[in-house]
Chains A and B, each alone.
Chain A
Amino acid sequence: MTVAAGRVIDLHLHLLDRQVVDPDGRMVCKVDDLELELDERGRPYVTAILLGPRALGPRLGGRLGRWVAAIGERLAERDRPVSRIDFSLVTDIGSAIAVSRPRGRLDVIPLEDWVEEHVIARIPGSRHESE
């Protein structure tokens, strides 16, 4: 289901909670929330994909949601805003959301990098696929 310009989509059904995939087919994240801005006529439009605990927390709602968002605050570096992928990087909306930049250059998944560096890389054999 590739969506072309002028087509109609429903944000909740077609964008939110979809998998984001990079040009190499690697999984980047889920669309945890969407950033909206108002155009000159007061209509909201999507400017970015938001991800991470600080984006997911409010959608979980309630005490659990606040707790998740609080974890995100703790883990984030000082003054670092909520992780976002600008919508200009989106190339396709289908069964997954395709973006145009490889995930290494998106700089939005600090937890993965941390785990990779401090845990997984220390186990022998982590550099090779199971081949």
Chain B
Amino acid sequence: MKQLLSVALGVLTAIGGFVDIGDLVTSGLVGSRFGLSLAWATLVGVVGICLFAEMSGRVAAVSGRATFDLVRERLGPRAGLANLAASFLITVLTFAAEVGGIALALELASSVNYLLWVPAAGLAVWLVIWRVRFSVLENVFGLLGLALVVFAVALWKLSPSWSDLAHQVLAPHNPSGEGLPTYFYYAIALFGAAMTPYEVFFFSSGGVEEHWTKRDIRTSRLNVFVGFPLGGLLSLSIAATAALVLLPRNIEVDALAQVGLPVAVAAGKLALAAAILGFVAATFGAALETGLSSGYAVAQYFGWQWGKLVRPREAARFHLVVLASTIAAVATILTTIDPIKVTEYSVVFSAVALPLTYLPILVISNDRDYMGDKVNGRVSNLLGSVFLVLVVVAAVAAIPLMLATKAGQ
């Protein structure tokens, strides 16, 4: 019974923890401009992150090594360092976006200007990383993030024509007025929002910290294959409600408030309050993950002790990096740059950085010296190869499309 509860907890946490500021903003934005015609991009991204997380979780369980540890081993110190620089910068950028997201969500809740919330949010995030137990951290924010299920409720309450929605998803077409480059730019954005690299750093590092063994592979798979897709459904609900409420009124999402608007319209004030709670939990949880991941990446490249399961004094350099990243993230948002813009950039650059971590994981999960008989099966390798191509194509196309469409104008 206890095991069942713990498995349920893991799955629920994965669902609630799936969505971050990138998913919130991008899904809302895309829904308000494209309806559900880009739902396929989210679906592809969800399959991709499931694949990616399963492989890195399995590698962590069997080899006891986390992602960035292996990146340096397999790419060599020079390519590994370039990889680290890129991954670290993008993780910190995402961290900044999440901190901005927390502040925006708190502004929604309190009507106090978001800039005033930023230092408090940064401090709170750092304090939680410093003092709160790993499992508590994951579970609390994961479960609170389930409040976002209110979007699914709102969707149901809007009584949409389900066949019409299904038609949009299955037969995607480009709505009038949007160019093809813009369409694909947002496809990449949705892909990058679902397949965030930091998620994999965090997931595999957590597995190593909790001393996963082969027996934990099954639980990890359950969390990934059940939790992540359901989390993806939440993203789709956000897009769908935006499509139903904002698109007909030509309201484009450029603030977090508009992402929540459909819920208020469909289900009232209480539902909106739940949505805001969900926003805070999702962004705070993601801020914790990105903050820790920035430390994981650097420490694992250089071989430093890392993690929350040892005393901070025993992982001094790791904690210093986390502290520095927090300060950098807070400072970025305090420059009054629009946090929504930061989010959009972080999502696109995530897509650019994706091959850097994806490739080593794909290779190692096939290496018998490491994995013994737990190497990838045919299906994993087939899917893995398809996604390798996808990930590289997205990475190469992202920046040119961003420039060509002026970031989706």
Contact = CB atoms under 8 A, between A and B. Distances in A.
A–B proximity contact (CB within 8 A): yes
A126 B304 contact: no
Given A1-B370, A125-B130, A130-B132, A119 B310 contact: no
Nearest to B69: A19
B140 to A, nearest CB: 13
Contacts of B134: 130
Contact of A120 (B76, B302, B308, B319): B319
A125 B72 CA distance: 32
B interface, how many residues as a size bin?
A: 35 or more
A60 interface: yes
Q: Which of B77, B130, B306 has the most CB of A within 10 A?
A: B77
Q: Which of A1, A18, A60, A95 has the most CB of B within 10 A?
A: A95
A115 interface: yes
A46 interface: no
Contact of B80 (A17, A111, A115): A17
Contacts of B76: 17
Contacts of B65: 19, 95-96
Interface in A85-131: 95-96, 111-112, 115-116, 119-121, 123, 125-131
Contacts of B305: 26-27, 112
Contacts of A50: none
A48 interface: no
B310 A115 contact: no
Contacts of A84: none
B72 A111 contact: no
A68 B312 CA distance: 27
Contacts of A1: 369-370
Contacts of A34: none
A69 interface: no
Contacts of A123: 130, 312
B317 A112 contact: yes
Nearest to B71: A17
The 8 tightest CB contacts between A and B, nearest first, are A30-B303, A116-B316, A126-B312, A120-B316, A115-B316, A95-B63, A29-B303, A27-B305
